[in-house]
Amino acid sequence: MNQNEMLALYENSGALLTGHFVLSSGRHSARYLQSALVLEQPQNSTQLAQQLVNLVQGEAIDLVVAPALGGLIIGYEVARLLNKPFIFTERKEGEMQLRRGFTIASGARVLVVEDVITTGGSVRECMAVVKACGGVPFQVVAVVDRAPDAEGRFDVPHQTAITMQVETYTAEACPLCAAGTLPAVKPGSRGHA
């Protein structure tokens, strides 16, 4: 699968949204990817997870870890294809933690998986938890990178199946706001997320 075929999966799933969106950062954008709609179909999850597995060929992996909620489905599917165990970190009262009795063996080589990376905040917090628990995160893979030019977000190599430079604007500089024909919506509203 090449990048266009993967984007077609998003488009055919109604997950490549076009409109006028307010992102969680507060910036405005004309496009939004809703991975949950793609991963709704298990065969799509398998296909996308296989792309991520291809990015870690030859690596010794003890454990796959993902930050909840975004990374859960794709992380589990990657682990299933690799035949490795899968656990996840989650936020409680805003703080990323390892819960539910999950443990990480000291020195375990950990692959970190996420669905969509923008700033990388969830992934960094997940990696910090892994390290605090004795694991060694060695690589990050994600389906989509919304800011492929933002280097230095992680202190380990990271690869994504789809890179997508989405233009974002401050509300003041947003051409869609200036046009005034389409109100800005949060992707979380009206069933988008």
Residues that bind Zn ion (CB under 5 A): 28, 174, 176-177, 184
Here the tokens at position 128 are: 């910090």
Minimum gap (Å) between residue 184 Cβ and Zn ion: 4
Name which of 18 and 43 has its Cβ closer to Zn ion: 18
CB of 171 to Zn ion, least distance (A): 6
Find the largest Cα–Cα distance for the chain: 56
Q: Which is nearer to Zn ion, 28 or 158 (CB)?
A: 28
DSSP labels for the chain? --HHHHHHHHHHTT-EEEEEEE-TTS-EEEEEE-HHHHHTSHHHHHHHHHHHHHTTTT---SEEEEETTTTHHHHHHHHHHHT--EEEEEEETTEEEE-TT----TT-EEEEEEEEESS-HHHHHHHHHHHHTT-EEEEEEEEEES-TT-TTSSSS-EEEEEE----EE-TTT-HHHHH-SS--B-TTSTT--
Nearer Cβ to Zn ion (123/174): 174
> To the nearest whole angstrom, how small is the minimum distance from the Cβ of residue 172 to Zn ion?
9
Would you say 111 and 78 are in contact if contact means Cβ atoms under 8 Å apart?
A: yes
Q: Least Å distance between CB 15 and Zn ion? A: 21
Q: How far is the CB of 30 from Zn ion (least distance, A)?
A: 9
Residue nearer to Zn ion on the CB measure, 105 or 178 = 178
In whole angstroms, how close is the CB of 174 to Zn ion at the nearest point? 3
C-beta of 7 vs 177, nearer to Zn ion:
177
Judge whether 83 and 77 are in contact, CB under 8 Å.
Answer: no
Chain position whose Cβ is nearest to Zn ion: 174
Shorter beta-carbon distance to Zn ion: residue 134 or 183: 183
